[in-house]
Amino acid sequence: MTADLFETTLFQYRDKTIFNKARDLAFDYMDTIHQAAPEQERLVFPPPESLSGLEVFDEPFPETCGDTDAILDLLHTHGSPATVAQTGGRYFGFVNGSAFPVALAAKWLADVWDQNAAMNATSPIAAKLEQVCETWLKDLFGLPETTAAGFVSGTSAATFSGLAAARNQTLSNMGWDIRKKGLFNAPRPRIILGDQAHSTVFKALSLIGFGMDDLERVPCDSQGRMRTDRLPEIDETCIVIAQAGNVNTGAFDPLEEICSLAGDAWVHVDGAFGLWAAGSPDYAPLVRGMEKADSWSVDAHKTLNTPYDCGIILCRHPGALVSALQNSGDYIIYGDQRDPMLYTPEMSRRARGIDLWATMKFLGQSGIRALVNRLCANAKAMGQKLKDQGFTLHNEVVFNQVLVACSDETTTRSMLARLQEDGTCWCGGSVWEGKTAIRVSVCSWATTEEDIERSVRAFAEARDKAVAGQ
C-alpha cells in the first residue's frame, strides 16, 4: 500500500466506506449498553477475559502500512470489550458523567472538522461557540459580567489556570511583577485551604511553585466542610481556596461566609462537579455567595454529561488570567474577535467548546435544572435504599455523592472487591476519617430507578458473600 498510500487515503475520504464501518461498529457498541437485554448487556467493568484480550495490541511497530478495515476490527473486537461502560446508568466509580446523544454527535462532527481552537484565525466557529458558552455559563452561574472563560481538559487544568492567575495578582498586590522578575526571591503569598481540599488542588499549587509548608490548612467538620470559625486572619496577601462539592461526601464549603471573610484576598472555588448546583433552584443554596469569588474551576464532563474532555476555568479578572497564560510570537495572529488561547495554558487543542455548546443548547436552563435534580434524587434514593439494607452512610446526601460502608473494614474491603468483580455496577473505594469506605458517585443522566434497584441488590449480595467468606 505504501506506493499509493496517499491516493488510497484520498479515496477513503471520498468513498466513505471506512467511516460507515466505524459508524456501524459504534452503533453496535451503543446497543450493548443502552438496548441489550440484561443477560446480553455489557458488564460495567470489563471481565478478566476481556482484559487479557488486550495483549493482542502488544506487537512490534509495523514496518508496512496497515489495512484500515482490520484496524477497526481489531479495535472493536478487542478494544470495545475492555472499555468501562460509563455511558450507561450503573457506573458510580469516579465522578464521571455520561454523554447526551446530541453532544456525542456534535463531537463526531467536530472531530471531522478537526479544528484547532487556539485562535479565531485557526477556527472562527470554535471561537464563536466558546464565546457563546462563556455568556451562557455566566448567566447560569450568576457570575460577574467581566468573567472570562477558558476551555481546558478538566478541572485539574482549570484549577492550575485559576491559581496561576491568583498567584500573579497576589504577588502584584505585594509589589512583585512575576512576569518581569520571575518567582525566585519573590515574597510568599499565604495559601489558605481546607483539610479536605481535592488532590488536584495540591498538584496545581505544586506546579505554580508552592510547597506543602506554604499551606495554611483549615480544619473541616464531619462532612468535610471548611470550618470558618478556624479561618486565620486574611488579607490581600492571601489566596483562599474553597470547595463546592467534596469528592467523598458531596458537602459544600460555606462559600458566602468564606468570601465575606476573605475581604480583598483572591478566592478560588474548586467546583468540579458541584458548581452545577447553581442550575437548580433546589440546590442553588449550596453555592450561595460563590459569585463573590475571583475564579472558579468546573467540569462539564461530570454533572453536565458532556463527552470527555471538557473543563472550564472562569475568572472575574480577565487581565489576570491572560497575563498568567498568554502566549506570544511573531506568527501568532490575534484579531479583533475573541482568541481562545488567551484564557488557557494550551495553544493547540481540540475544539471542546463545540460539544459543550451542543449540550447547553439541547438542555437549556430547564434541562440543566432537571438533570441536576435527577442526579441528586437518584443519589438520595441510592443512599436510603443502602441504609435500608443495613449499610452505614457516612454522609448527609446533599448532592450526588453517597459514602457507604459495611459494619467493619474487613467486610467493606471484601464486599467492594466482590461488587467490582460482579460487574452489575462499579464503585470505587475511599478512606474517610481513617477508615475504608465505598464512594458512590451518581453522575449519569442514564441512571434509572431500575439501575438503582439492581445496584442496591448487587451491594447486598456482595456483602452477604463477603460475610459468608465466599
End-to-end Cα distance, the chain: 55
CB atoms within 10 A of CB 148: 21
* Per-residue confidence band for 388, with pLDDT thresholds at 50, 70 and 90: very high
Q: Tell me if domain 106-360 and domain 364-468 are identical in fold.
A: no
pLDDT score of 194 more than 70: yes
pLDDT score of 91 more than 80: yes
Q: Is 293 helix (H, G, I), strand (E, B) or coil?
A: coil
* Per-residue confidence band for 41, with pLDDT thresholds at 50, 70 and 90: confident
- Delimit the domains of the chain by residue range: 2-84, 106-360, 364-468
pLDDT score of 181 more than 90: yes
Whether omega for the bond prior to residue 451 falls within 30 degrees of 0, making it cis, is no
Which residue type sits at 398?
Answer: V
Report the distance separating Cα 361 and Cα 271, nearest Å. Answer: 22
DSSP alpha helices (H): ranges in 263-326?
A: 318-325
Q: Could you tell me if 340 and 333 are in contact, meaning their C-beta atoms sit under 8 angstroms apart?
A: no
* Per-residue confidence band for 374, with pLDDT thresholds at 50, 70 and 90: very high
DSSP alpha helices (H): ranges in 225-352?
A: 255-262, 318-325
* Per-residue confidence band for 3, with pLDDT thresholds at 50, 70 and 90: low
Question: Cα separations (Å) of 365 from 134, 141, 143, 362?
Answer: 15, 11, 15, 9
pLDDT at 34: 83
- Sheet with 428-432: strands ordered across: 392-393, 401-405, 435-441, 428-432
Question: Cα separations (Å) of 21 from 48, 80, 118, 248?
Answer: 28, 15, 31, 42
Q: What is the widest separation between alpha-carbon atoms in the chain? A: 73
- Sheet with 238-243: strands ordered across: 148-152, 311-315, 295-299, 266-270, 238-243, 190-194, 215-218
Q: What is the pTM of this model?
A: 0.94
pLDDT score of 39 more than 80: no
pLDDT score of 329 more than 70: no
Q: Could you tell me if 100 and 301 are in contact, meaning their C-beta atoms sit under 8 angstroms apart?
A: no
Question: Cα separations (Å) of 287 from 11, 114, 258, 277, 281?
Answer: 54, 36, 11, 7, 11
**Domain boundaries 106-360, CATH class:** alpha beta
Give the whole-number percent of the chain exceeding pLDDT 70: 97
Least confident of 237-246, 254-263, 333-342, 355-364: 333-342
**419-450: pLDDT as tens digits:** 999 999 999 999 999 999 999 999 999 999 99
Report the distance separating Cα 332 and Cα 348, nearest Å. Answer: 12
CA dihedral in degrees (323, 327, 331, 334; nearest 10)? -50
Q: Could you tell me if 452 and 385 are in contact, meaning their C-beta atoms sit under 8 angstroms apart?
A: yes
Q: Could you tell me if 169 and 178 are in contact, meaning their C-beta atoms sit under 8 angstroms apart?
A: no
**213-224: pLDDT as tens digits:** 999 999 999 999
DSSP 63-118: SSPPPHHHHHHHIIIIIGGGS--TTSS-B-SSS-----HHHHHHHHHHHHHT--TT
Q: Could you tell me if 341 and 285 are in contact, meaning their C-beta atoms sit under 8 angstroms apart?
A: no
Please give the CATH topology (third level) of the domain spanning 364-468. Aspartate Aminotransferase, domain 1 (3.90.1150)
> Which letter does DSSP use for residue 233 in this model?
-
* Per-residue confidence band for 35, with pLDDT thresholds at 50, 70 and 90: confident
Q: Could you tell me if 247 and 238 are in contact, meaning their C-beta atoms sit under 8 angstroms apart?
A: no
Give the mean pLDDT of 86-97: 92
Q: Could you tell me if 277 and 372 are in contact, meaning their C-beta atoms sit under 8 angstroms apart?
A: yes
Report the distance separating Cα 235 and Cα 218, nearest Å. Answer: 16
Which residue do the cell numbers 473505594 mark?
429
* Per-residue confidence band for 199, with pLDDT thresholds at 50, 70 and 90: very high
